[in-house]
Amino acid sequence: MNFFEKFGRSAMELKSLRCITVTGVLIALDIVLKMVSIKISADLKITFAYLALATIGMLYGPTVAFLSGIVTDLIGFMLSSDGGFSPFFTLIEAIGAMIYGIFLYDLKPLRIKKSSDTDSAGGGIKQIILKSALVGVLTALVFGLITFLLGIALADTAASDSPYAKLAKVFTAPELWYISAAVGFLYGTFFGIIIIGGRKDKADLRSSVAVVLSKVIVVVVCNLILTPIAFVFSGYMSVDSVIASYPVRVAKNAIQLPVDCLLMLTILFPILAAYKRFADHTAAARGVKNGKNTLSGMPVETAGKPEKNKEIEKL
């Protein structure tokens, strides 16, 4: 299915009563999860509401997800007392949901491996974890070294009267080097487990990468680019305030990203498998109710008894 076909097929899903019902339930779940979010500052909070929108995108595609993003933001605004309304944030919510739909629609469920295969991909779970931890150590060194070199390069700017001095001082702080190393270890270990553990099963690896990539793009596009711009254009924050708080925003998203990806990998695939089993069971039940075997298309009374029917025809 190509890029544009996903939008067309997703729009057709709106004709289904099941789509409307399930989407409504997930929209309600999204609103509830937003209400129990953890607020860090005036412009930063930790929420897991994205799981509901990601599920909508996975089951019904980018068109349904985009519309659901608009609805969740509007209803959330009406139920919340925080701040005023801005169409910029509604659009950002819809774009994030649409990105989930683009990457996750038509996703293949992970195949359940036999007990004899549980040691699989990298030569056993212990070896996978060990190799991934080594990758994590290497990425920690790389992340730490990059921020250390940035700190040295920006030392003069931090000591000057430049408007970017505050931002430069953040990179010269040793605490950021340690945080970068910790984030590097999390990323290296997390992606190491995905790649090393799934290298023998290409289908599962592609599905896992699609989930992770969808979250990474949502974080970069919506959280790190569009949201700060929306704060400025909506008049909630000045450019200087956005620049001053930007390192905290980057750090928060960088630390939370591996956790969010792990939650998505843990939750979305079981939901998808259960949904497909339910859809198959419903289709089979509908076929029997209509008097036909859904596998053969034959009437229920004669399905599975072809020889006997032939004998009756001969007589």
pLDDT in tens, 229-280: 998 888 888 888 888 788 778 878 887 888 888 888 888 988 998 998 888 8
Domain 1-111+203-315: which CATH class? mainly alpha
In terms of average pLDDT, the best of 9-18, 74-83, 272-281 is 9-18
Domain map (residue ranges) of the chain: 1-111+203-315, 114-200
Phi and psi of 200, rounded to 5°?
-90, -10
Q: What is the pLDDT of residues 249-259, one digit of tens each?
A: 887 888 788 88
- Report the chain's mean pLDDT, rounded to a whole number: 78
Residue 221 scores a pLDDT above 90:
yes
Give the residue with greater pLDDT, 8 vs 157: 8
Sequence-ordered list of residues with C-beta below 8 angstroms from that of 218, at least 6 positions apart, any chain: 50, 96, 99, 100
Radius of gyration of the chain (CA): 25
b/e 7-17 (16+ beta carbons within 10 angstroms → b): bebbeebeeee
List pLDDT tens digits, range 160-210.
777 667 767 777 777 777 777 887 887 777 777 766 665 556 667 788 888
- Segment 69-95 shows an average pLDDT of 85
**CB of 207 closer than 8 Å to CB of 107:** yes
The DSSP letter of residue 40 is E
Among all chains, which residue has been given the structure tokens 């939901």?
271
Higher pLDDT, 144 or 164: 144
Q: How confident is the model at residue 295 (pLDDT cuts 50, 70, 90)?
A: very low
Whether the pTM exceeds 0.85: the reply is no
Predicted local distance difference test score (pLDDT) of residue 169? 75
Lowest mean pLDDT among 32-46, 108-122, 139-153: 108-122
Indicate the pLDDT class of residue 61, thresholds 50, 70 and 90: very high
